[in-house]
Structure 1
């Protein structure tokens, strides 16, 4: 038997989704091991081996592919545990990371201190030399300045260097020369050049990307080396691919060259899964795990890629699949603030010690504890009964909230439950309403182990009409990784406009991008017939400050003057979709061109090869369980169905519970579910 595996490390559990050559898919979970993620990675592989009745050695011999979504770089950035970075900029422009893009965030928060730059001033050096916007050398590069910067960095104990010089995207000669000299002066120190990591015209976005990439380079490299050593010890002889933040996979060598693409890579896999699971045009994807609730959206059945992702007060710089996160996971801690108001998150109990009901030392009330008190989660059937929960500890933790608020235990638990729901609804509205998507007309796909518990109330608040609880909901991101393509994104600056459109120059830029994309896919071992290319441009109306990304068709990367009306109309439509206005008589400026190189992997349709048989006869619940319902203000006995016992075509009417080994779904009044032929529960709200 041949197996393919995807491992996604979450804040509380590490998910492992395994498919075999028969098209059968199984999900396994193991506690995450903060600080030693490679240990949790191997632990969950051992759990999978046990699930198949194999020894770890026999199982690993039969695994030919592992894909992995890493949180190492994200955690380093969020926790501010990156390495010491030295930054080299053009003389006279040492404040690029201080000034950012000009406008301050929160313009009316006049008491807000201006945030510190990502690289502090004492680690920033400037060098003489100047390239202009047309790529001409105006001032020769000062080799003495580079030598002095290297000496200073050596004395300061710098562990990585980022280089960002003006207009290096047009002529990179000076940046390349800086690297050549630094490699001689600072052997073994990784160096990131801005024109290579993010070839965009905006200095701040380009240079912040280089600084972030440099700051996590040794961390990501060390993690990959540890992971590879651990897999070698397990005698793994197959292929290992890592998830990137543009919704696909990259070989190890490419991730080591561009570690910034590992940031937020795990959550980007959930929308890729939704893309395969549904043909709906507008889809919202909610992935609620132990620490966060990650929400993303598909517009016109296309992944939304944003250039504006933030890490604390700084832009990430590079484009990534648009995923927003809030601290609303199963482990999010509830507390009463000084004003007597209940709050939930963003602080989390994490994997250690975890919610109080885990019995591992946690005492503070969490969302999971509230769900146990409400009766939604069965303490005896958590992870299919493999992990016993302590109801008494959950009640003690939630009881502290009840005492502070002066309400009953059930009322306090429901208050935690609904407060968490409203936190998630706010995140959903942020990525839909503000991005030109009406949630009422969208299809919702649930991901993560806890979303199906909360989706019914969120659907009522948002007026959603339909949502899906996938069969592998608890490992949706891992499922996305299992079926994702190999992907890479390349971009290049070429400025032209609808008034003086240079079709030949644009076409030449696209051809260069196509050659680079072809090279990436060839290096990744993708056959020519499995290579696909998608094109987009960054455009704006003349005198606008910021661009938007617009996809377009270009057969083989060819563009002619005849394509201009189509490009302009595509820009107008996208601008209207996002901002509700279009200016048909305004000049459209094209600032940069992008290519996504996609390598189709074999076996991506394996999940569709096994379909459920139609249900024979009526379905009876396996049990009944008391659940506190706010609608009635009391504990009601609700039917409980076992997901694995339901055949295709089964219809369920809420209120009821549907349990699987890795999740529980709570259907409320007016929510009617039906099992589709792939085993997913599709729910319509009457």
Structure 2
């Protein structure tokens, strides 16, 4: 039997979702191995092989495809453990990364320490030569300046180089010449060109993207090589794809060429999963793992892509699926601050040592410890009983908080629980209320191993009416990877306006974009009939400082003069939706054109063929368990159901617990649940 596998590495557990040729899906988990992620990758494959009763070698031979969401580049950036980068800029413009852009947010933050540039000044060199905005060479490139910069980089021990020259997006000749010289002067040192990694007119975003890409290039390349070697040693002969930050997959060669697209790629898979699981127009996706809570939103049943994601004080430069993260996971550590207030996170116990109840040396109280004390998590059924939790260690850890606050153990545990919930609610409001989305009108999809424990209280706080606990909630991102497309984004700069629309220039740009997209999909092995192309443009009103992205239809990959009113109206509508105003009489400028190349993979929808039979008769009760109820201030007994025993149409009424091998769902009073035909729990709040 052929298998397809997705592996998603989290802060505490590495998730592995396996689909077979019948559409049956199984989830497996193994502890993450920080610093040696490839070991955890192979470990979880062995756990899956054992689950199917196969040897590791036999299981590997049956795998056709492995897709993988990596955290290596994200961790390197967050922990500031990147390689030493040299930066080459146009003479007279050495402070592009110092000055950045004029900020659109934080208008009242008037006392800020000015952040250091991503590449230090002593590692930034300039070269003479100038291209203008129309691509004309005003001054020839100084080859001697390039050679001098290479010699200085050699002495400084630079490990990668980024090149960002003015208007290289219009005429890349100078950047290409710089790379040719650097490859001769510094063989083996990777060089990133700004016009290749992020072809857009804004110098800061183009150059910061090049600098970030260069700083993680050796790290990502090394990880991919280690991973490929480990899989080869295990006898894997199938295809390996890596998740990117635009919500799809890329072949290894493309990720090595553009490693910046691996940054924050894992969390982008959860909204991809939600897109497939529900037809609701507006969806909130919350993914609570061991270390963080990742939240994203879908608007009009479309994944939101943002051009303004940040890494510390710097823009990432490239577009990515809009996912916000806060330090609120199952391993988040609770403490009482100097003012006597309870805080939860962002510090996490991680995979090593983990929460106190894991019995691996952790002693500080975490959210998971609180859930054990509250009775929501059964210590004897964690990961389906494969991992025994120690209640006494959880109690000892929570007692520290109880002593500091002067409350009972259960009250302290609930305080940790509800504080974590409010931290996550704040993150949800950030991506909904502040972006013009009413959470009360949205459908919530739970992801991660812990979200279903917390969603009931969060739903009441937010005023949600409905939410879903997917059958594979604990591996929602991995499920998203299993069903995701192959995706890539291409862009081209061409400034025009509705006052004098350059139809020929636009069509030439769109033609080049489609050729690049076809080349990418062909190299990824996608047949012509499985290729799709989505177009958008970056537009603004004349004299505006920033653009917005607007999707549009391009029949046969081209536009005509008669399409201009449609393009302009699409811009007005998008501007009104984002900013609540439109200016119909203002000139609309088009600054850049984008294409998203999408390759459909075979077997992406096979999971929909594996449906549950209808529930006949009353549902079976698994057990009854006492959990602490804050409203009454005491432990009360509630029914417990096993998700695997429930069939399509089965109805549940809160308060109750629903257990699966990899998660527990807690339904409060007035929360009415029903199992859909795919085994997902859909909850309506009365």
TM-score interval, smaller chain? over 0.9
- Residue 11 of structure 1 corresponds to which residue in structure 2? 11
Question: Shift of the alpha carbon at 1:502?
Answer: 1.4
Counterpart in the other structure of 1:463: 463
| Equivalent in the alignment of 2:519 | 519
Counterparts of 2:573 and 2:438, CA distance in 1: 16
Deviation string 1:402-433 (CA, Å, 9 cap, x unpaired) is 11111111111111111111111111111112
Residue 106 of structure 1 and its aligned partner are, at CA, apart by 3.6
Q: How does 1:324-403 map to 2 (within 5 A)?
A: 324-403=324-403
Partner residue, 2:670: 670
Q: Is the 8 A contact 1:42 1:230 kept in 2?
A: yes
- Map 1:77-156 → 2, pairs under 5 A: 77-103=77-103, 106-156=106-156
* Other-structure match for 1:577: 577
Q: Secondary structure of 1:246's partner?
A: coil
Does residue 610 in structure 1 map to residue 610 in structure 2? Answer: yes
CA deviation digits over 1:53-106, x for unaligned, max 9?
Answer: 000011001001000000000000000000000000000111100110033864
Aligned to 1:557: 557
2:226 aligned partner: 226
Secondary structure at the counterpart of residue 333 of structure 2:
strand
Q: Secondary structure at 1:11's aligned position in 2?
A: coil
What's the TM-score once normalised by structure 1's chain length?
0.99
For 2:648, the equivalent position in structure 1 comes to 648
In structure 2, the residue matched to 1:476 is 476
Which residue pairs with 1:172 in the alignment?
A: 172
C-alpha deviation, 1:682, in angstroms: 0.4
Moved over 2 A (4+): 102-112
Q: Distance in 1 between matches of 2:685 and 2:501?
A: 50
Structure 2 distance, partners of 1:233, 1:341, is: 52
Whole-angstrom CA distance in 1 between matches of 2:153 and 2:407: 59
8 Å contact 1:654–1:670 — kept in the other structure?
A: yes
The alignment partner of 1:230 has SS state of: helix
Number of aligned residue pairs: give it: 686
Counterparts of 1:257-336 in structure 2 under 5 Å?
257-336=257-336
Shift in Å, 1:110: 3.7
Contact 1:434–1:578 at 8 Å: present in 2 too? no
CA distance in 2, matches of 1:500, 1:409: 71
Q: How far 1:107 sits from its partner (Å)?
A: 4.1
Deviation sequence 1:485-531 (CA, Å, 0-9, x none): 00000011111111211122111111110010000000111000000
Gaps of 5+ in 2: none
Unpaired segments ≥5 residues, structure 1? none
CA distance in 1, matches of 2:381, 2:123: 54
1:535 Cα deviation (Å)? Answer: 0.5
Residues 104 and 545 (structure 1), Cα distance of their counterparts in 2 relative to 1, 3 Å cut = closer
Structure 1 CA distance, aligned partners of 2:474 and 2:99?
A: 42
Contact 1:15 1:28 in 2 (8 A): yes
Q: Secondary structure at the residue paired with 2:540?
A: strand
Deviates more, 1:502-511 or 1:145-154: 502-511
CA distance in 1 between counterparts of 2:35 and 2:297 reads 31
The corresponding residue for 1:486 is 486
SS at match of 1:380: helix
Distance of 2:619 and 2:349 partners within structure 1: 38
1:422 maps to what in 2? Answer: 422
**Paired position in structure 1 for 2:445:** 445
In structure 2, what is the Cα distance between the partners aligned to 1:449 and 1:232? 31
Q: Structure 2 length as normaliser, TM-score?
A: 0.99
Task: Describe how 1:394-413 pairs up with structure 2 within 5 A.
Answer: 394-413=394-413
Per-residue deviation at 1:558?
1.0
Distance across 2 between alignment mates of 1:508 and 1:669:
60
Counterpart of 1:204 in structure 2 is 204
Structure-2 separation of matches of 1:348 and 1:673 = 32
DSSP 3-state at the match of 2:223: helix
| CA distance in structure 2 between the aligned counterparts of 1:548 and 1:324, rounded to whole angstroms | 20
Distance in 2 of aligned mates of 1:99 and 1:167:
18
Deviation at 1:249, TM superposition (A): 0.5
Q: Retained in 2: the 8 A contact 1:8–1:16?
A: yes
Residue in 1 aligned with 2:504? 504
1:197-237 CA deviation, whole Å, 9 max, x = no partner? 00011000000000000000000000000000000000000
| 8 Å CA contact 1:638, 1:657 repeated in 2 | yes
1:516 and 1:108 map into 2 onto residues whose CA distance is 43
Q: In 2, Cα distance between the equivalents of 1:654 and 1:231? A: 46
Larger CA deviation: 545-554 vs 24-33: 545-554
1:103 and 1:13 map into 2 onto residues whose CA distance is 37
Tell me whether 282-291 or 574-583 shows the greater mean CA deviation: 574-583
**Higher alpha-carbon deviation: 259-268 or 427-436:** 427-436
The Cα shift of 1:436 comes to 2.2
Query: 2: CA distance between counterparts of 1:434 and 1:587?
Result: 28
> 1:60 corresponds to which residue?
60
